[in-house]
Amino acid sequence: MIVILTFFALVFGLFCGLSGTESEIIRFISKNSDMILYILMFSVGISIGMHNGILKKIRQYHLKILIIPLGITAGSILGGLLCSLILKLPLNQGAAVASGMGWYSLAGVTISRLGGAELGSIAFMSNLMREFFSFFLIPIIAAKLNYCTCIAPAAATSEDTTLPVLLKYTDEETVVLSVLNGMLCSFFVPILITFFFHI
Amino acid sequence: MKIFIIMGIGILIGRFLMIGKLKKWNERLAMLCTLLLIFSMGVMLGQKENFISELSSLGLKSFLFFLIPTVVSIIFVYILTRRFIDKKDTKGNDK
């Protein structure tokens, strides 16, 4: 159900954007998307807070907590290198595009500036697809693999937009791991993109 | 930073003030916010100049740059979490 609603929300949004439909509600939503994100984070915070003993459980992980962001980062970079080989692009460019890890706005803008408009567009769209397809992949991974792996497609977006889907299909413990993962991946994104353009 | 402060306030409210009955409403609020964010993302994309032409010319390359890094990340995290994170109830049903 959630996946269908997500799909329709995107399609309806695209339709409104492409057709140039102007209405107070659409303008209000677009203008206040930051505020909506804050309400979302507040609500996610409440869900975490209502779950007793969760922070104690998380503390038990110690350094193991780094496994998920490191796995996602390494997997993304390796995937980017494989794409470069397939598409015959310079390896550093492929690694930089994949280092966006779903943060399409930042990756698109930064890579456009560092690697040109075409590569910037690829970075924007591929990372946007990563965020969007995460909504579909998370329920499948939760059912077939394990809860922690649900964070992998979401990558840097696991601390905001994809978090409610993770909350719905996994548990509160995984949600806290998602937030930490999102913070770390988001921290790595600009560093890795810049790094790959300077080697 | 602002986001984490807001989330922190939410955690405190959830911990000390929330009652069980409101859990469902809170989940609905989160879902509504997500749908509104995705809708506004669609509007933003639709309004972006050349979006459709870029999608048709660079769509396949972009799709590959989404697919392979995502799949490799999933494989890596699955192997690592199976090996190092012994978390009970890691596979389950849709709530």
Please give the pLDDT value at position A1. 66
Orientation angle between helical segments A2-19 and A117-144, nearest 10 degrees: 160
- Rounded CA gap, B77 and B85, in Å? 10
- Confidence check: pLDDT of A4 > 70: yes
Q: What percent of chain A has pLDDT over 90?
A: 38
Contact yes or no for A46 and B93 at CB 8 A: no
Q: How confident is the model at residue B86 (pLDDT cuts 50, 70, 90)?
A: low
Q: What is the pLDDT of residue A29?
A: 87
User: Residue B89 above 50 pLDDT?
Assistant: no
Provide the mean pLDDT of chain B.
81
Rg of chain B over all Cα atoms, to the nearest angstrom: 20
Interchain contact, B7 vs A37, CB within 8 Å: no
- pLDDT for B95 equals 36
Distances, alpha carbon A70 to alpha carbons A44, A155, B1, B52, in Å: 24, 10, 22, 35
CA proximity to A130, closest of A83, A92, A197, A88:
A83
CA–CA dist A136, B1 (Å, integer): 29
- What's the mean pLDDT in A58-74? 86
| Total Cβ atoms within 10 A of residue A117 | 12
Mean pLDDT value across residues A162-171? 88
A87: nearest CB among B23, B64, B72: B64
Better-predicted residue by pLDDT, B92 or A17: A17
Q: Are A76 and A99 in contact (CB under 8 A)?
A: yes
CB contact under 8 A, B6 and A72: no
